[in-house]
Structure 1
Amino acid sequence: MVASCVGFVLIGALQALYGPAIPAFREEFGLSPSAAGLGLSAHFIGGVAGVLLFDRLIGRISNRQILGSSYLLMAVGAAGFALAPNWPAGLAMALLAGLGFGGIDYGLNQLFAIGFGRRSTAMLNILNAHFGIGAILGPALIGAVGAEHYPAVFLAFAVANLPLLLCLRGVRDTPPPSDVGAPAEAATRSAVRNRSLLTVLAVFVALYVLHVAIEAGVGGWEPTHLETVGYSAGTAATATSVYWLMMTVGRFLVAPIALRFSPQAIITVSCAGMTVCLLLAAVPGLAPYAYAGVGLFIAPIFPTGLPWLFRAAPSARRAGAVVIAASMVGGVAAGPALGRAIEGAGVRAVPLLLCGVSALCLVATLWLMRATRPTENRVPAEG
């Protein structure tokens, strides 16, 4: 468990290392801004491919082999990126590192979602909170040593993956016996059988794509919006850091709550709170605090949705791969899509545009609650 949390710190750091190192990429290889940004794009493409590839391998090779090969791919890719003699080679290595990233992201989320019974929601939130820790530490490390020394940082990151290979003995290939939550899950199964399973899965995918689009949209546009409404660049940058920090804090905070409340209830409150906070962010004087609230409320959605999905659709266990891959696609697509909307509405409309997307998340959640509601066997009344 500890090694898994360390693994999530590392994948969070890897994803966050590319951005701060862009100035060094551009200088070393003579790149335009768009060409330098392809490093992160290659990473995400590799991540989606890794999720789908290792999903296909489940059952053919052991979970231990899946995680071990993912750690190795990420280490080799990070080291190759650090030592790449030219930018095409660097992109190929970023793709390879992303492949390992996707395998770890999917593999550990899948194992935690089914391996802890009623505690799975709490454990998934703790696991994903460590991703946030890595995402905060990665840029801080680049800032401390200087972007020009990014090869040393990527090499150190590659080496840090290797000890985790020694910590896989506790990984099993079969889930634990069903716990006391089994009757409720059986009831949920019967409820879903009465509806189109594909429709339920499609709405889960939509929820994941939309909420990750909000996550990426706030992270990318919060500084610009705050500066537009009168805040200094330093204040805007600090507020954005607080937003990411609140996402990490929120996942730790929700872990004990998840032991008492259902994933459905947690996600409903999260979507409602996120919508209200984005509406308040349209008020300039409240915007920095409202964005921090968005980070707090959006935090539990990704890890809390997976146990709900697996209980609602146990016959489609591999649906987890689809929603995790969709979340990555949502993060990539959010930037261009939101950018086009802002071109027409203006930067001041950023929180309202995102508020509309958040309202769709709430609608999707309420529909899923109804679609997966446990049913009772009733005898029809006579007469």
Structure 2
Amino acid sequence: MSKTVLFVASVTKKHIIQFHLPYMKWFKEHGYKVHVCAGDDFEPEEARHIPYCDEYYIVPFYRSPFATQNFRSYKELRKLIEENEYELVHCHTPVAAAIARFAFRNARKKHNTKVLYTAHGFHFYKGAPKISRLYYSVEKAMIRYTDGIITINEEDYLAAKKMCRNKKCDAYKISGIGIDLSRVRNSTRTREDIRDEFGIPHDAFLVMSNSEINENKNVECSITAIAANKGVYMLICGTGKSMDKCRDLVKELGCTDRIIFAGYRYDAKELLHGADAFIFPSYREGLGLAAIEAMGAGLPLIVSDNRGTREYAVNGENAIVCECNNVSQFINAVRLLSSDGELCKKLGRNGYSCADKYGIENSLAEMAEIYGKYVDIPTSETETEVLSGENR
């Protein structure tokens, strides 16, 4: 068996590079070749370079399970399988993972290829719209082509455990996919120079957000909450399909001087040090790494109550937790934090400590233990016992 591992995801820059480089590096350090198969989301002028990657295959995956173009993606993956023999395939993102698992079904039998899937947040969950039943059906059907499902929150872990029951598939839960706390905490940038870059007064209360700008992230709620609190500023990092809609809302509310769109920022972690609070009103989150990074920088959180944020956000301890559809609660949360410096400090201190659990060192050790069950790496090189369905 070739010592080669394949990482599969819908996009490259905003998923593979953003989340999985530490794991790719780990495989390289253990003598593996690393291949990546993902959609090309680089800007036209950007170099298409992926650290720790030996081969990069550009295959477009479409988020909608109804997109007929995904059949072409499946055919591209089949060609990839014919050209390579993989010991392990690690899939990410729902549609790309489903296509990959189905494409590798014969390779699992012929070459004993092991297939893992990390669910960064199942698209079916308590309170989800009816369309989520389709995602549940697909996930359940794909179990037969999966050796292990890795989840990052308790609700998803219980769902995976149930789907894996009486199947040859293991369910795991890890502490997220890991954040680089040293990078978050050791920024060389100062509060003043960050604010000077964006023209934000040094003494203003600044709320930051960092996410893809789409319907699920509910950025319009954040904008409305800031607009209702005079003198409060907001720095929005990210891009996405709802960008124009959000820009129009800012203009409509007359807040173009206080709400700033910074675009996609590679240095978003550093920019946290210019803010006073972090807002995260998503309808759905698998975990929410951006919020955990903000905690790691010592910022109090204003978050919506969902299965991901419930893993770490405790109302009155390190966050103000609101109902995702209740804009008034977010308005009041911004008002409270912007007027109570002591509360900000308390929530920030508690969040700073809470973030330690989600450091990349912990997540990498947990994943090393899982990888060790499926590839030929001595278990003595792994460090952390993972809680699986059998030993939980």
Which category of TM-score, normalised to the shorter sequence, fits these structures?
under 0.3
Q: Counting helix residues as a fraction of each chain, which structure ranks higher?
A: 1
Q: TM-score, normalised by structure 1?
A: 0.24
Q: Counting strand residues as a fraction of each chain, which structure ranks higher?
A: 2
